[in-house]
Structure 1
Amino acid sequence: MGRGRVVVVTGATGGVGRATARAFAARGDSVATLARGEEGLAAVAEEIGSAGGRALPIPVDTADFAALDRAAGEVEEKLGPIDVWVNDAFTSVFGRFTDIEPKEFERVTEVTYLGFVHGTRVALDRMLPRKRGTIVQVGSAMAYRGIPLQTAYSGAKHAIQGFTEALRCELLHDKVPVHVTMVQLPAVNTPQFDWVASRLPHKAQPVPPIYQPEVAARAIVHAADHPKRREYWVGGSTVATMIGDKLAPGILDRYLARTGYRSQQTDQAREQDRRVNLWEPVDDRPGADFGAHGRFDARAKPRSVQLWASRHHGLLGTVGAAAVAGIGALALRRGGD
């Protein structure tokens, strides 16, 4: 596609959203960044300008539909018609389901699921009359396979998957040239493990293999360029989790029950008084910008063979995806023996 599009990225002040905003800016796109933390918004706006794009930072909570609708109107007033909308904002709580308060679970659902629904709606309200536009949903391996200690996040990602599939069918039925695609992410080295609320005794960590947020950003930009593909996979673990349970029902449950608690925590005790982003942003004060990367740079991969196979989705991509899935399923089967 051509350069100079108008792109909206929610959750753009940290992690994958931050890297994605920079990636679009490097192509010369105008990028509206929607998030709650004003310090993070100011920092990402500066990075967008340095990368060659035009920035429009807008403080907004995606759980608030009316506020998000006003933000979309501001984007079109100041930058022009929205070409690409990327839903990425989320929050969560690490911990056993019974340790999460009902109001906390509700809040995670409002941001991580309904925030995507709201973003999709305000984008479609503007794209459908023009009969053009692309919406990219940032999904997760957990859209297919829930894991222990992440009931709220797993549930939201499952919901996004079902919502997007249903919506895509409606758009196809109506023959509307507006596209909705998903990018399914593996574990990514982002700041979320230091700002998401936690009930765990130790510091949270992603389950390897871990990828840098720039890998995810490349996938999202590619999906925006080629939105007719229903979804893209980033990282071999994404396909393995999607297919492994189908090949060996119940095995993955037992494997994750045995390993899922230990693998998501480090040996370091969790700080009891740290700020979390469930109700308020943590990057809303001077010096509180978190950037795109978390504390796992030494372990994170800068590229993904699975993403390459997913992008080149002809014969070679199909073979690559099948091979990764088969290896992953075999590993899961052995782990459950």
Structure 2
Amino acid sequence: MSRIAVVAGGSAGVGRATVDALLDRGYRVAVLARGQARLDEIEATHGDRVFTHAADVSEAAQVEAAADAIVAHWGAPDVWINSAMLTSFSPFTEVDEAEFRKITDTTYLGTVNGCRAAMRVMDGGNIVNVGSGLAYTSVPMQTAYCGAKHAMEGFTQALRIELARTRPDLTLGMVQLPAINTPQFDWARNRLARKPQPAPPIFQPEVAARAILKAIDEGSREVIVGRSVLQLMFGNMLFPNLVENQLEDAGVEAQQSEQIDFGRDDNLDGPLAEYPSKAHGSYDHRAETTGIIVDGDRTRKALVFGGAAALLAIGTMLGRATKPASAARERIRDDRDDTPWGVDAPYYARPVEYRH
């Protein structure tokens, strides 16, 4: 009998790519998501190889009910992946308490709820929490999301230590992702001047799915994906003031595309039924199909033993990563007096020009 996997947040983006990767491996996959229309689409595509259950992961009772339904349908799962998230591209002062809480409840507490349900119904196997490089270095205009990813990191570490003492049959890992081309940037709430984009370099969701499979196969404590996550992780550890200065200069611009983005609906208060179930967002033309996928523990050891050479490489990567956005920032400063936005417009509201 094939193994059973659960993907919470599996109807789009990284979760959807992971569902496909698991099916290709021969798993039976249970998919949890808010949007019934996308779940129905997945069932129509894959038939009895999938089991879908509508659930808002921010509601613990719904996640527990989903876990019971999976066990009743197929039996205890071998793998449980927590991938659901919400975000808002907005200045903190414009995010009210309800909006901040919704993002936190889904992105952070959704992971907590998933782990609790998984521990109750699993006889052993792997739990994988999908994190972000933003768990190490935050960016402006996503305060709620960054806070949730930092919280996930702390929660996962604490729980992993507990499991090592009490449930050695379960492994708990975290996959730290870079900017991924997912529908998040098409449907997230946005108060920036332009449509959000994944801050380059951008990777396809299949890169993330391969990392999640690596975490399952190897029982990894942490898997790091993409050179940009290495830059964020080690840069913040070694040169935090430099990293924050660079993000102050270019962090907002790097998250904005050239497209105007006003008046559309978003998915914060509920799923957008008209958006199909797919892994990819709108940036296929800029996304890389391959990326480094490394064990976090081994990478830290390499940094320690690599010494000066590693420091030099990290400094070089940081410089390359921020140079294009910094140049765009300088162009804005030079040209802003001639724009209708005016010299007194807040920096997050000015349009950005990118040259490719």
TM-score over 0.5 (shorter chain): yes
Aligned counterparts, 1:1-337, within 5 A: 4-49=2-47, 54-127=49-122, 130=123, 132-174=124-166, 176-227=168-219, 229-272=220-263, 274-282=264-272, 284-285=273-274, 288-304=275-291, 306-307=292-293, 309-310=294-295, 318=302, 327-332=313-318
* Cα distance in 2 between the residues matched to 1:46 and 1:318: 46
Per the alignment, in what secondary structure is the counterpart of residue 106 of structure 1?
helix
* Cα distance in 1 between the residues matched to 2:315 and 2:228: 10
* Cα distance in 1 between the residues matched to 2:121 and 2:175: 22
* Cα distance in 1 between the residues matched to 2:145 and 2:151: 10
1:168 offset after TM fit, Å? 0.7
C-alpha change, 1:27 and 1:63, in structure 2 (3 Å) is same
* Cα distance in 1 between the residues matched to 2:109 and 2:281: 26
Structure of greater Rg = 2
Mapped contact 2:31–2:50 kept (Cα < 8 A): yes
Which residue type is aligned with residue 206 of structure 2? E
* Cα distance in 2 between the residues matched to 1:6 and 1:94: 35
C-alpha change, 1:179 and 1:257, in structure 2 (3 Å) is same
Which residue type is aligned with residue 8 of structure 1? V
* Cα distance in 2 between the residues matched to 1:324 and 1:140: 22
* Cα distance in 1 between the residues matched to 2:285 and 2:269: 31
5+ residue gaps, structure 1, are: none
* Cα distance in 2 between the residues matched to 1:46 and 1:205: 31
Per the alignment, in what secondary structure is the counterpart of residue 8 of structure 1?
strand
1:66 offset after TM fit, Å? 0.6
Mapped contact 1:248–1:333 kept (Cα < 8 A): no
RMSD over aligned Cα, in angstroms?
A: 2.5
Deviations 1:77-124 (A, max 9, x none): 101111100000011111111111111000000000000000000000
Mapped contact 2:131–2:152 kept (Cα < 8 A): yes
Mapped contact 1:93–1:196 kept (Cα < 8 A): yes
Mapped contact 2:12–2:277 kept (Cα < 8 A): yes
* Cα distance in 2 between the residues matched to 1:326 and 1:69: 48
1:310 offset after TM fit, Å? 3.5
Which residue type is aligned with residue 225 of structure 2? V
Deviations 1:221-246 (A, max 9, x none): 1211221x210011011111001022
Mapped contact 1:32–1:55 kept (Cα < 8 A): yes
* Cα distance in 1 between the residues matched to 2:126 and 2:136: 23
5+ residue gaps, structure 2, are: 327-356
C-alpha change, 1:291 and 1:149, in structure 2 (3 Å) is same
Mapped contact 2:16–2:277 kept (Cα < 8 A): no
* Cα distance in 1 between the residues matched to 2:92 and 2:202: 25
Mapped contact 2:176–2:224 kept (Cα < 8 A): yes
Per the alignment, in what secondary structure is the counterpart of residue 240 of structure 2?
coil
* Cα distance in 2 between the residues matched to 1:126 and 1:171: 15
* Cα distance in 2 between the residues matched to 1:325 and 1:186: 21
* Cα distance in 2 between the residues matched to 1:214 and 1:145: 23
Mapped contact 2:176–2:229 kept (Cα < 8 A): yes
Mapped contact 1:188–1:213 kept (Cα < 8 A): yes
Mapped contact 2:57–2:114 kept (Cα < 8 A): yes
1:326 offset after TM fit, Å? 5.2
* Cα distance in 2 between the residues matched to 1:67 and 1:247: 42
Mapped contact 1:189–1:295 kept (Cα < 8 A): yes
